[in-house]
Amino acid sequence: MNKCLFAILILSLFLTGCWDRRELNELAIMLAMGVEKVEEEYQVFAQVVVPSEVSMKGSTGSTKVTLYSAKGETVYEAFRKMTKDSPRKIYPGHLKILVMGEELAKEGIGESLDLLSRDWEIRPDFYVVVTKDTSPSEILNTTTNLESIPANKMFNSLQMSEKAWSGTKSITLDELIADLISDGKQAVITGVQLIGNSKIGSSKKNVEMVSPAASIQYDHLSVFKGDKLVGWLTEEETIAYSYVTDSVKTSVRRISCPEGGDATIAIEKSHSDVKGYIRKGNPEVDITIKVEGNIGSVECKMDLNDLGTIAELEKIYEKEKIAIINKTIDTLQKKYKTDIFGFGEAIHRANPKEWNKIKDHWEEEFSNVTVNVNVDLKILSTGTVNNSFLEEIKD
């Protein structure tokens, strides 16, 4: 009997209930969060799912989300003060996207991120974006079609844009913090902006139109020095950044044909190798980018059956890509003076001893680093046809 009692006592240790259990009907599930600075206070926004509207049985056809907001001296205080308005505790465990205000980003985002990195309820795999020429409230208030929950639209659009175009970069909280504390690499965050009429965009009418009056669109990369936003890359520079940092999955590039007109190269594979050196006492970086792609479209006269023509197109692409990358590097070295490529990390890996000598004044060193760029394109296919039928139509 004593043995049985002892066994029951031992098993009971493993069968205890959850001390912090919360019922679903006690929580408001937050999928998107916005943070901006208003005078000396933080204003925090929470885009919360309306349970009755995502339910097939209880839906009335109204919007699937609602937006709560509050101000506080800290982000944490503002977040808790939302309970003055929300009838449920706002639960951040399913957060998908964080929208930082542009003005806040210029002041510094470090303090704002502290809560999100510290709170045990928040998983650090959500994406972080920064507004451009708009506010987090306007972004999070905009209704969206195709994806009825705006947070899902923003999350999926960022992933798809990065995968198919390479003009954006999906940055998680973990990745952002790693860049912010790195000695040899500065942070970047994709920008988001509101296109169109924000008043109509916040209403149900917006999603009832074939062409919405307002839409959420990602646009370029914001450049940081420390935790402060210092400027923006153009779309062309953003794509160049993706190539250098080995972030390109697939993309498309228009190039000039040898005798006039244009052709489009569909990039199917890209790999970048960045190596740092100390040569004659000075830091130097070699970038080697190997690209594979197909001819996507031809709007010029050329013979695609001729291997010489294919080789010429490869050379044109390589020359143009090198020029764009060099221009982007020059912008970062001369205009922003911030190493978003991780050249410092490459030099650190190659020569830790020399890196320790220059890391404290890397900003100055970075502006004068010699960078050697090499791009190698291999065109694998011309598509299902060889020469374009457009020339025959013109003839």
- The answer as to whether 345 is a domain residue is yes
Answer yes or no: do 209 and 347 share one domain. Answer: no
Contacts 24+ apart (CB under 8 A), 267-273: 267/291, 267/292, 267/293, 268/292, 268/293, 268/294, 268/380, 269/293, 270/243, 270/246, 271/246, 272/243, 272/244, 272/245, 272/246, 272/248, 273/246
Indicate the residue among 232, 266, 285 that finishes a domain: 232
The total number of structural domains in the chain stands at 2
Answer yes or no: do 352 and 206 share one domain. Answer: no
- β-sheet with 262-279: strand ranges across: 251-256, 262-279, 282-299, 370-381
Answer yes or no: do 85 and 127 share one domain. Answer: yes
Task: Give the per-residue pLDDT at 56.
Answer: 61
Task: Give the per-residue pLDDT at 19.
Answer: 44
Contacts 24+ apart (CB under 8 A), 113-121: 113/173, 113/176, 113/177, 113/180, 114/75, 115/74, 115/75, 115/76, 115/79, 116/75, 116/173, 117/173, 117/177, 119/92, 121/91, 121/92, 121/93
User: In Å, how far are 33, 130, 164, 214, 313 from 195, measured between CA atoms?
Assistant: 20, 15, 21, 5, 36
Beta bridge mates, 105: none
Answer yes or no: do 300 and 228 share one domain. Answer: no
Indicate the residue among 232, 252, 280 that finishes a domain: 232
Answer yes or no: do 307 and 218 share one domain. Answer: no
Answer yes or no: do 68 and 171 share one domain. Answer: yes
Answer yes or no: do 359 and 248 share one domain. Answer: yes
Task: Give the per-residue pLDDT at 7.
Answer: 55
Count CA atoms within 13 Å of residue 5 on its CB side.
Answer: 2
Query: What domain range includes position 260?
Result: 235-395
Pairing of strands 214-225, 65-72: unpaired
Answer yes or no: do 314 and 328 share one domain. Answer: yes
Q: E strands of 212-368, at which residues?
A: 214-225, 228-232, 251-256, 262-279, 282-299
Answer yes or no: do 221 and 239 share one domain. Answer: no
Indicate the residue among 167, 202, 232 that finishes a domain: 232
Enter the pTM of the model.
Answer: 0.90
- Span between the terminal Cα atoms of the chain, in Å: 100
**How far apart are alpha carbons 160 and 334 in whole angstroms?**
32
Answer yes or no: do 153 and 239 share one domain. Answer: no
CATH number at residue 288: 3.30.300.210
Whether the Cβ atoms of residue 294 and residue 250 lie closer than 8 Å to each other: no
**How far apart are alpha carbons 32 and 66 in whole angstroms?**
11
Q: What is the pLDDT along the chain (395 residues), one digit of tens a residue?
A: 555 655 554 555 455 555 455 566 789 999 999 999 999 999 999 999 998 787 666 566 678 999 999 999 999 999 999 999 999 999 999 999 999 999 999 999 999 998 888 888 888 899 999 999 999 999 999 999 999 999 999 999 999 999 999 999 999 999 999 999 999 999 999 999 999 999 999 998 999 999 999 999 998 999 999 999 999 999 999 999 999 999 999 999 999 998 889 999 999 999 999 999 999 999 999 999 999 999 999 998 888 888 899 999 999 999 999 999 999 999 999 999 999 999 999 999 999 999 999 999 999 999 999 999 999 999 999 875 666 655 555 55
